[in-house]
Amino acid sequence: MLWPMIAIALGFAGIAVLGVLAVRVFIEVRRLAHQVGVASERIQRAGEDLERAAVPLASSAHLHKRG
């Protein structure tokens, strides 16, 4: 009777450990998703800044080609 009880206790402990690890993975995935969102917003803003900065340069280069 002792061995079946030990087996059940170990099985429960294994499932509990897997549950804790699943929660930790879920939390890390949410954190990573948030960081990816922030990074994509920064990249988008940098692209817009680059585009705004390129317009005057392109127009001045166009003027220098004519003259």
pLDDT of residue 2: 92
Rounded Cα distance, 25 and 32, in Å: 10
Encode the chain (67 residues) as per-residue pLDDT tens digits.
899 999 999 999 999 999 999 999 999 999 999 999 999 999 999 999 999 988 887 777 666 666 5
Q: What is the pTM of this model?
A: 0.65
Rounded Cα distance, 38 and 23, in Å: 23
pLDDT of residue 59: 73
Rounded Cα distance, 13 and 5, in Å: 12
Instruction: Dig out the tokens for 42 from the structure.
Output: 């920064």
pLDDT of residue 55: 83
pLDDT of residue 9: 97
